[in-house]
Structure 1
């Protein structure tokens, strides 16, 4: 599971409350005991409840109800409840609500995408690009994991993905295909993924023996042709479809028999609608 540092957990709140809560101070209600509840206004996959629980602990809020990331919550279901002083409850209120709504929104959209794809192709792997929103990578990655997807790449350091932009400097696709076996020997523990943008290059990549062939913005019909070509040759090449894939077409791409679906749209899930209620303990 994604690990947030103590500094990151603290910053979620201090961005909103850099010093103190002026309103609670002026009203002189900070020492009153109260509760805070988080309730789903619609069915959703919840995410980042663990981080909220850690925030509770930092502010001496006792967790009474807790449900973990990755489970489906029904409309009207309360999945978090904390007890503490009014000063602490008001400090963490909006920051935790925002965190949960963004994370649950991404997780829920991811879940829908994965469900649509696996309904027609149970073995397909749905993975997300590294185009997360700035400074939000941990939240995004935790959310897509909660929704059932995996990250395509967490960064440039751990995977080899050759784009045409790399080959502009290398000398082109033809030289790359000629040198492929030599390149593989430089990183024997890694798979070599190559992105292509047309059918001619896709067929040449199959002949060259790439490990993973990533098809950028290919039509569904073109993806099907490439998948068929790989299957007919009975070579151990995985085919990934990428570019422009969303809820409206993911099932059609999955139905081609493609091995991997790469997408970014999961990160743009509409924030979940979560009702947060604060009140005194009567």
Structure 2
């Protein structure tokens, strides 16, 4: 089930955890209210607000921004859904309500849509390179989103056509060299075998930065190898070695995977590409129009 569909079915915008997160964003921006709006005497007036795309591309964060404005007392509605491809000038959301609510939520909502849409576009750009060559290699984004943003960054990544590599430490088995460094060398194999017995429904993933170690892990039955900073050429050599031994271990290059080299990694035999690059894509631009409403 997609993250967007899960959100729709579970109703996260109806007073749940996401509402509290949105309120926290508002408190961060206006811990004691909006001084400028009060000082200008705008309280009690009515206003309209419209978000429009400035430039074509994928959009994300629309539902969260709409709900944020609703929490400010604005009757806001989305014009498109996250994941939509829009043209320059396309209407994204619109609403009307008290001027103090419109002005309180305006900038936080705009920042959220711009940041989320930037991530979505970053993911979509990498996916587009792969699909243009007829490759269906998945792009899986890491948990390296800036702290505090994971709850909306994951939806932005999906809106761009990618998937989440890990939603957090609690739901995957990924053994890093940092884990292994804390184990006695003679216990490593036994510990990994015990791990697979204890969590039989989960795939065992081990990260390595060395070609010889990667082949050794595959021989021990590791199901996915996360290949840290491997070159495309190193991935191709490892794929050939695995085939020669009849091993079906999946290969997931990670570290430095981006739009410029994604195709090379996919052609080298990667089963999926692990990347943090979309989180650092430039934000999209959203134009916001605020005006008096008919009753203002």
Both structures adopt the same fold (TM-score exceeding 0.5)? yes
| Pair 1:196 & 2:208 matched | yes
Report the Cα offset of residue 121 of structure 1.
5.7
Is the Cα contact below 8 Å between 1:178 and 1:208 reproduced in 2? no
Gaps of at least 5 residues in structure 2 are: none
Aligned pair count? 281
String of CA shifts for 1:199-256, please: whole Å, max 9, x gaps: 1112212222211111111111110111222334343321111111111111111122
Is the Cα contact below 8 Å between 2:130 and 2:136 reproduced in 1? no
| Pair 1:274 & 2:292 matched | no
String of CA shifts for 1:151-203, please: whole Å, max 9, x gaps: 2112222111112221122233x753466444421221111111111111122
Report the Cα offset of residue 22 of structure 1.
2.1
Report the Cα offset of residue 104 of structure 1.
0.8
String of CA shifts for 1:49-104, please: whole Å, max 9, x gaps: 11122123222322355211111111111111111122211111111111111111
Structure 1 partner of 2:261: 249
Structure 1 partner of 2:61: 48
Which of 204, 214, 220 is the equivalent residue of 1:208?
Answer: 220
Structure 2 partner of 1:118: 131
Q: Secondary structure at the match of 2:140?
A: strand
Structure 2 partner of 1:227: 239
Structure 1 partner of 2:79: 66
Is the Cα contact below 8 Å between 1:9 and 1:55 reproduced in 2? yes
Which of 239, 248, 253 is the equivalent residue of 2:251?
Answer: 239
Structure 2 partner of 1:137: 150
Q: 1:183 to 1:20 in 2, by over 3 A?
A: closer
Is the Cα contact below 8 Å between 1:123 and 1:259 reproduced in 2? no
Gaps of at least 5 residues in structure 1 are: none
Is the Cα contact below 8 Å between 2:141 and 2:163 reproduced in 1? yes
Greater Cα shift, 156-165 or 13-22:
13-22
Is the Cα contact below 8 Å between 1:118 and 1:254 reproduced in 2? no
1:13-92 paired onto structure 2 within 5 Å: 13-92=26-105
2: CA distance between counterparts of 1:270 and 1:155?
24
1:152-171 paired onto structure 2 within 5 Å: 152-171=165-184
1: CA distance between counterparts of 2:233 and 2:292?
60
Q: 1:123 to 1:65 in 2, by over 3 A?
A: closer
Question: Could you state the TM-score of these two structures normalised by the residue count of structure 1?
Answer: 0.92
Is the Cα contact below 8 Å between 1:64 and 1:83 reproduced in 2? no
Q: 1:34 to 1:179 in 2, by over 3 A?
A: closer
1: CA distance between counterparts of 2:142 and 2:167?
8
2: CA distance between counterparts of 1:169 and 1:49?
44
